[in-house]
Amino acid sequence: MSNYRTERDTMGEMQVPAEALYGASTARAIENFPVAHEPVPSEVIYAFGTLKAACAQANQALGKLSEKHANAIIAACEEVASGKFDAHFPVDIYQTGSGTSTNTNANEVIANLANQRLGFGVGAKGKEGAVHPNDHVNMGQSSNDTFPAAMHIAASATIRRDLIPALERLHQDLATKAADWDSIVKIGRTHLMDATPIRVGQVFAGYAAQAQYSVMRASRAIKRLEENMPIGGTAVGTGINTHPQFAAKVCSVLSQKLGGTFAEAANHPEAQAAKDTFVEAHGELKTIAVSISKIANDIRLLGSGPRCGLFELSLPATQPGSSIMPGKVNPVIAESAMQVVCRVLGNDATITTAALGGIGSLFELNVAMPVMIDAFLETVKLLANVTNVMVNKLLTGLVVNEERCRELIDQSLMMVTSLAPKIGYEKAAAFAKEAFESGKTIRQLCLERNILPEDELHEALDPWKMTEPRA
């Protein structure tokens, strides 16, 4: 046991690895939760570092914490937020549902780092003048408000840093293609069946709008997370043992530090007992995933073939598609995106279930928060990464097969739609049926039957004009 030290928490003695910066309570949690063998995401730990620093700054400003202790705590928190001590945060994701073990882990590590700065050794929490993990690092706080506050910080930070730039790239690429390809007309499809013509530029402008709206949705998610911060509610949302100005000061510090617009929750019991805001924010991400599924799936179907499918688009060849069929190339990037969407929908189900009354949300506290933030951060990571992959590997190098687009327009029976105002719906439908049965195009059949003067017919069957509103 020479590589261990003995520490105590309120339940008794624990053996702690000699080099560990955490203490007895964290060691107890490590023993209690050998479940996923995956620690809480590092983004949450960095958020805790930032949050605890803001709390120390607020407590000092309110006269609750000495300058010496505050400075030591803040410096330690900044080191934690930098990722320097990730190895000292080993508590499993599937721990106590309030995240108490992670909050305790943060308190112990920060206290030991602060005490080292003050000239004390690790485990000095009981010595006179030393920083105590509960009395000083956790001053005016509870796991019940710090863990959800850290969730909001981590979620908003990753959306801002990773997801929004990726979505903006996607929007720019699709908008560029919409402009570049606006002179190309293709056949439209509804219900998977032929419809009237549409410009390729119009199709991609629709995708670009989805990407633009996705940026807006991600921004809305950030706003909701930042404007409903639970910090200051302590145990059950009443703010017991907390200065009345504490939460507002903490949120002000966070806004200055992170560049957000953090604000104290309008109603602390709601912010702690319910996780509706978190469900709402992930709902925005779920909608983004749905948009990506539409874009990726449309592109892979429009690229199907090359000889026996639609093949209006040529997708970049990224890798061999079959171990048995030589020369086969598959839409693998789009397939990757579709799998991400499946996972995001699963994460949304996890987060929604974890927030349900009677499951996660019970009386004054939600007790399924660690799994919620783990799922949320995975969603952000996957959406950001696959969006960048789509731009790099699917959209870059995507080509419109103009000749194939013209060929399919000529063959489409729905070209008859523009004749309906001139010859009537019933007659136009009969022409479509006859053209299909005879194998002729609508244009050929109309010319043979002399339905309209030739000039008027050609104008009516002009694919470009069909893509513009007209009476």
In this predicted structure, the answer to whether residue 321 has a pLDDT above a threshold of 50 is yes
Tens-place pLDDT, residues 369-379:
999 999 999 99
Specify the pTM. 0.96
Same fold, 20-139 and 412-466: no
Whole-angstrom Cα distance, residue 217 to residue 361? 25
What pLDDT, in 10s, does the model give residues 192-238?
A: 999 999 999 999 999 999 999 999 999 999 999 999 999 999 999 99
- Please give the sequence-ordered ranges of beta strands (E in DSSP) within 248-348, or none if there are none: 313-314
pLDDT for residue 471: 53
Which stretches of 95-184 are assigned E, i.e. beta strand? none
Name the helix (H) or strand (E) containing 365.
strand 365-366
In whole numbers, what is the pLDDT of the chain averaged over residues?
96
20-139 domain in CATH 1.10.275.10?
A: yes
Structure tokens at 344: 């995001």
* Cβ neighbours, 10 Å, residue 121: 11
Q: Is the peptide bond before 133 cis (omega within 30 degrees of 0)?
A: no
Dist CA 293 CA 386 (whole Å): 11
The C-alpha angle 261, 264, 266, rounded to 5 degrees, equals 120
Query: What is the per-residue pLDDT across 252-297, written as a single tens digit (0 to 9) for each?
Result: 999 999 999 999 999 999 999 999 999 999 999 999 999 999 999 9
What is the pLDDT at residue 469?
A: 81
Q: Which residues are catalytic?
A: 191, 322
* C-alpha to C-alpha distance for 339 and 350, rounded to whole angstroms: 17
CB 376 within 8 A of CB 347: yes
Sequence-separated (6 or more) residues with CB below 8 Å from residue 273:
236, 237, 361, 363, 364, 365, 366
Q: What is the pLDDT of residue 150?
A: 98
> 412-466: which CATH number, 1.10.40.30, 3.90.180.10, 3.90.700.10, 1.10.1740.110?
1.10.40.30
| Residue 455 tokens, joined | 């000039």
The yes-or-no verdict on residue 126 having pLDDT over 60 is yes
Fold of 145-403: Fumarase C; Chain A, domain 2 (1.20.200)
Span 167-205, pLDDT tens digits: 999 999 999 999 999 999 999 999 999 999 999 999 999
Domain ranges of the chain: 20-139, 145-403, 412-466
- What does the chain come to in residues? 471
| DSSP bridge pairs for 301 | none
pLDDT category of residue 1 using cuts at 50, 70 and 90 = very low
Percent of the chain residues past pLDDT 90, beyond the cut: 94
**DSSP one-letter code for 461:** T
Tell me the pLDDT band of 153, cut-offs 50, 70 and 90. Answer: very high
